[in-house]
Chain A
Amino acid sequence: MVFDGIILGLIVGMIRGGLKQGLHAFGQLKLKGGWIFPVLLLIQLVIFAVQDQSSFVASISNYMFMGIYIVGMIFLWLNRDQHGFGLILTGVFLNFLVMAVNGGRMPVSLQAASVLDPYYVDMLSQGTVITKHYLLDESTRLPFLGDIIPLSPPYPRSQAISIGDIVMNVGIFVYIVQLMSGDKKKAEKNKPLETGSSA
């Protein structure tokens, strides 16, 4: 789901700002603590790779994911003056919140998951495999923040997503579109007054 906002943002950004301008904007991209993001991604990949072999890693993986979320949110907070980052932060926080109150895992509703591959639904309902998700039930807290929204055709991808995912993606979309087409507007705003100088 993370990629949907990026792809959509790139398309709209390209239309509004143009390819050259957009790529130029990416070249000038400056974020505070920009190194944090790739490091977090790397850690996540390592956990995925290792958790099958190491039971220790598997047992603490939930907490590690929570930690990654917190560091990620700090990174977003540092850059909150960027367009769309407030929304991204809100989305991530909503996801974090529902996971935090449900033992570090994201609840998925059976109904929403029914749009997915039945194999995956089986996996979820048996709860055998350790993943970031688990099936939503009576005991789930804040169920309305879980993965309860089914995406199905004509949407190109079948998925169950949370409201946090949507808010986050809107934020990503806004950020990318702004990045690719925003400079032009800013330049217009700063254009000096036509009327004479009063130096």
Chain B
Amino acid sequence: MSFLKRERTLKISASQWYFIIISLFGIIVFGFVNKAEFLNYTLQEWTWLYALTGATLILDHFAFQLPPKGNGQSMDSSVYLACMFIYGPAFALSVCLLTLIISSVYYKKPFWKDLANFNIYVLMISGASIVFTATGGTIGTLENEKILSYLAALTTYFFINVLVIGFFYVILMRSTLYEALKSFFKDIILVYLSTLILSLALTILISSNGVFGLTLFIALSTMLSYSFKQLFTMYNDIQEKATRDQRTGLFNHSYFESLLDEEIVKASQNDTPLSLVMIDIDDFKKYNDQFGHLKGDMLLGFLGHFLHEECEPAEVVASRFGGEEFTILMPGYDEGAASEFVNRLRKKLNDTYYEGVEIFPSGCLSFSAGIASHRVDIHDKAQLVDFADQAMYYAKKQGKNNVHIYGSSSAKEHEIDFAEDVRDIEQQLKLFLYKDVDTFKHSKRVFRYAMDMSTVLKLDSVDRRHFILGALIHDIGKLEIPWGILNKKGKLTAEEWETVKNHVVWGKRIAETNEKLKELVPFIELHHERYDGGGYPHGYSGKQIPRLCRMLTIIDSFDAMTTERPYQKTKTYEEGIAELRRCSGTQFDPELTELFIGYMEQRMLEQQQPAAGMESS
């Protein structure tokens, strides 16, 4: 926030400096050309001064807006130019001065704006007049044979205007002069040309018919101005409709996309911060279900209004992304500043009452927001949107009414991802609830052992994740084993045993269909391999089997031994440990077996003497 503010004041002062310089220069030129001549005007000259000032005021009043935004264009230039051609630059400047005085009193605009405008006119008129006389033009009625002087004057007038305004945009928008001029030329050249040509028409009208000629001209150009104004209003209306979302009054998705493109380019070129915020209303569906879509739409409208009111003063752009999702594009904000802004927004919304918010779990309007800030390596807008979306998802997972910065607390993000993956796999394992409850329970137990063992083994987060998920999913292939074999009470035949052994291959195939599960394939495939090479399906031995798979084999076997199985007698934990010891070095990795036994003994000790630990401490 503070960063942006500082930058903004800096911007304003840069453009103010520019205006101060232009104004000083203009005032000097004015003094030099005009020499306060108006003090000695005859009454007839005064009448003309009034008439021409009136004309410029009327045309100013009917000024129309031209792109770039906020750039007013009025046809008063034709009056100044005609004035300069007929009466000379000093008189034109007098008209200019009187116009300045009257309009600054009447319109109550900030004075420096009027003054800057006045001085730009002074420079243009004086410059044009110098070129006019230098190329042989004479003041008075229009002379056909000197048309080139007139054209030279008009061209000069135009170029001084374009340059002065162009440089202003260079300073204000920090674009290049070429860019500023390009948009300038494209948008205003026609209007400008007609203004310039009209100045010649006015010169002829005034010289031949005096005030009546001027009146005709004003009537004509007022109507022209008015039609231009209508045209641009219409143009803006249509543009507005194309870029606005009707429901919320915010920008729509397609406008947001194009804006994002522009801002990313700008941020990359100037190396300025840029943040994207993705907002999703919490429990909006609930509101919709409770009160109907009409009320839901009204709530969306209300939120749109809220976001607009909050975002506009901060010079950030809120758009409706779709459904109950909104985006805020924040040029100049790094993720810290963006987070500060969005959190303030969130709290304000929490404190805003809206009809029916009682039904929300939190009892108030809230949203979850994800923030992604632009980095040098991001060139594709979709990537930034994805990151923000991802961050928003994390915010939701942290209990909603939350703001999450993408990548800021990766531990938290991993945890959320992990929990999500566990849930996914559990979802698949649920099939066992019908087919083989024992396998379901077994998987859950092995999963818990794996959680504990990953702590014992001090695994890093990636290994831990793989190991635990692998443990949970390792028997997924058993889904393919026929129901009869799986639940058979007696001993299995050799053929049936072969079928059972196949579950590691089937499991592998199941896991391979899912991108997310691919990492877990070794655990599914190799958990029946033996340390001495006597296992299946490949008969790998020792280090050929990944370490964590060897670990899983131990856990898996231990749980199988110590829990009830159709074809096996149940062992106690002590018996299970003894069995592990017996097979250590043959079936199991001896080192890992010791680690597991150590862990199990510790656990049993704690379970038997729950108070012992407390007493000793």
Task: Indicate whether A and B interact.
Answer: yes
Q: How far is the CA of A109 from the CA of B46 in the complex (A)?
A: 12
Interface segment, one of A17-25, A123-131, A188-196: A188-196
Q: Which residues of A contact B298 (CB under 8 A)?
A: 195-196
Interface segment, one of B335-343, B351-359, B582-590: B351-359
Contact (Cβ within 8 A) A112 B43? yes
Q: Which residues of A contact B305 (CB under 8 A)?
A: 193, 195
Q: Given A136-B43, A143-B43, A144-B43, do A195 and B50 touch, yes or no (CB 8 Å)?
A: no
Which single residue of chain B is at the shortest CB-CB distance from A86? B106
Q: How far is the CA of A151 from the CA of B51 in the complex (A)?
A: 12
Q: Which residues of B contact A144 (CB under 8 A)?
A: 41, 43, 46
Q: Which residues of B contact A180 (CB under 8 A)?
A: none
B212 interfacial contact with A, CB 8 Å: yes
A148 interfacial contact with B, CB 8 Å: yes
Q: How far is the CA of A112 from the CA of B301 in the complex (A)?
A: 63
B298-318 vs A, CB cutoff 8 Å, 1 = contact: the mask equals 110110110000000000000
Contact (Cβ within 8 A) B47 A149? yes
Q: How far is the CA of A88 from the CA of B490 in the complex (A)?
A: 112
Number of chain B residues close to chain A: CB under 8 A: 23
Question: Quick one: which of A97-151 are within 8 Å of B by CB?
Answer: 109, 111-112, 136, 143-144, 146, 148-150
A154 interfacial contact with B, CB 8 Å: yes
A198 touches which of B44, B50, B248, B352 (Cβ 8 Å): B352
Sort chain A's interface into a size bin. 20 to 34
Contact (Cβ within 8 A) A196 B352? no
Q: Which residues of B contact A28 (CB under 8 A)?
A: none
CB distance from A94 to the nearest CB of B (A): 11
Q: How far is the CA of A109 from the CA of B302 in the complex (A)?
A: 65
CB distance from B104 to the nearest CB of A (A): 14
Q: Given A154-B212, A195-B249, do A163 and B50 touch, yes or no (CB 8 Å)?
A: yes
Q: How far is the CA of A161 from the CA of B106 in the complex (A)?
A: 22
Q: How far is the CA of A197 from the CA of B302 in the complex (A)?
A: 8
Q: How far is the CA of A150 from the CA of B50 in the complex (A)?
A: 12
A148 touches which of B43, B353, B354 (Cβ 8 Å): B43
Q: How far is the CA of A88 from the CA of B352 in the complex (A)?
A: 48
Contact (Cβ within 8 A) A195 B302? yes
Q: Which residues of A contact B304 (CB under 8 A)?
A: 195
Which single residue of chain B is at the shortest CB-CB distance from A167? B102
B40-64 vs A, CB cutoff 8 Å, 1 = contact: the mask equals 0101101100110010000000000
A45 interfacial contact with B, CB 8 Å: no
Q: How far is the CA of A109 from the CA of B43 in the complex (A)?
A: 8
Q: Which residues of B contact A154 (CB under 8 A)?
A: 212
Q: How far is the CA of A109 from the CA of B44 in the complex (A)?
A: 10
Contact (Cβ within 8 A) A195 B212? no
Q: Which residues of B contact A196 (CB under 8 A)?
A: 295, 298-299, 301-302, 354-355
Interface SS, B side: helix
CB distance from A150 to the nearest CB of B (A): 8
Question: Quick one: which of B217-273 are within 8 Å of A by CB?
Answer: 248-249
B191-227 vs A, CB cutoff 8 Å, 1 = contact: the mask equals 0000000000000000000001000000000000000
Q: Which residues of A contact B51 (CB under 8 A)?
A: 149
B82-120 vs A, CB cutoff 8 Å, 1 = contact: the mask equals 000000000000000000000000100000000000000
Q: How far is the CA of A54 from the CA of B43 in the complex (A)?
A: 36
Contact (Cβ within 8 A) A198 B354? yes
Contact (Cβ within 8 A) A195 B301? yes
Q: How far is the CA of A150 from the CA of B304 in the complex (A)?
A: 59
A179 interfacial contact with B, CB 8 Å: no
Q: How far is the CA of A148 from the CA of B353 in the complex (A)?
A: 66
Question: Quick one: which of A162-199 are within 8 Å of B by CB?
Answer: 163, 166, 193-199
Which single residue of chain B is at the shortest CB-CB distance from A136? B43
Q: How far is the CA of A143 from the CA of B49 in the complex (A)?
A: 14
Question: Quick one: which of B270-308 are within 8 Å of A by CB?
Answer: 295, 298-299, 301-302, 304-305
Question: Quick one: which of A61-114 are within 8 Å of B by CB?
Answer: 86-87, 109, 111-112
Q: Which residues of B contact A136 (CB under 8 A)?
A: 43
Q: How far is the CA of A120 from the CA of B375 in the complex (A)?
A: 84
Contact (Cβ within 8 A) B44 A111? yes
Q: Which residues of A contact B106 (CB under 8 A)?
A: 86-87
B163-185 vs A, CB cutoff 8 Å, 1 = contact: the mask equals 00000000000000000000000
CB distance from A70 to the nearest CB of B (A): 22
Which single residue of chain B is at the shortest CB-CB distance from A199? B355
Contact (Cβ within 8 A) A197 B355? yes
Q: Which residues of B contact A193 (CB under 8 A)?
A: 305
Q: How far is the CA of A136 from the CA of B353 in the complex (A)?
A: 72
Which single residue of chain A is at the shortest CB-CB distance from B246? A194
Q: Which residues of B contact A87 (CB under 8 A)?
A: 106
Contact (Cβ within 8 A) A166 B212? no
Of A144, A150, A195, most buried by chain B (CB within 10 Å of CB) is: A195
Q: How far is the CA of A136 from the CA of B42 in the complex (A)?
A: 12
Contact (Cβ within 8 A) A149 B50? yes
Contact (Cβ within 8 A) B302 A148? no
B54 touches which of A109, A148, A166 (Cβ 8 Å): A166
Q: How far is the CA of A197 from the CA of B299 in the complex (A)?
A: 9
Q: Which residues of B contact A143 (CB under 8 A)?
A: 43, 46
Q: Which residues of A contact B248 (CB under 8 A)?
A: 195
A166 touches which of B44, B46, B50, B354 (Cβ 8 Å): B50
Q: Which residues of B contact A86 (CB under 8 A)?
A: 106
Q: Which residues of A contact B299 (CB under 8 A)?
A: 196
Q: How far is the CA of A154 from the CA of B50 in the complex (A)?
A: 19
CB distance from A179 to the nearest CB of B (A): 19
Q: How far is the CA of A143 from the CA of B47 in the complex (A)?
A: 11
Q: Which residues of A contact B41 (CB under 8 A)?
A: 144
CB distance from A1 to the nearest CB of B (A): 14
CB distance from A143 to the nearest CB of B (A): 6
CB distance from A108 to the nearest CB of B (A): 10
Contact (Cβ within 8 A) A148 B46? yes
Q: How far is the CA of A198 from the CA of B303 in the complex (A)?
A: 10
Q: Which residues of A contact B355 (CB under 8 A)?
A: 196-197, 199
Q: Which residues of B contact A111 (CB under 8 A)?
A: 43-44
A25-48 vs B, CB cutoff 8 Å, 1 = contact: the mask equals 000000000000000000000000
Other contacts beyond A195-B248, A197-B355: 18, CB < 8 A: A87-B106, A109-B43, A111-B43, A112-B47, A144-B41, A144-B43, A144-B46, A148-B46, A148-B47, A150-B47, A166-B54, A193-B305, A195-B302, A195-B304, A196-B354, A196-B355, A198-B353, A199-B353
A interface residues (Cβ-Cβ under 8 A, vs B)? 86-87, 109, 111-112, 136, 143-144, 146, 148-150, 154, 163, 166, 193-199
A sample of 30 inter-chain contacts (CB < 8 A) reads: A87-B106, A111-B44, A112-B43, A112-B47, A143-B43, A144-B41, A144-B43, A146-B43, A148-B43, A148-B44, A148-B46, A148-B47, A149-B47, A149-B50, A150-B47, A154-B212, A163-B50, A193-B305, A195-B249, A195-B298, A195-B301, A195-B304, A196-B295, A196-B301, A196-B302, A196-B354, A197-B355, A198-B352, A198-B354, A199-B355
Top 4 nearest A-B pairs (CB, nearest first) are A196-B298, A195-B301, A144-B46, A148-B43
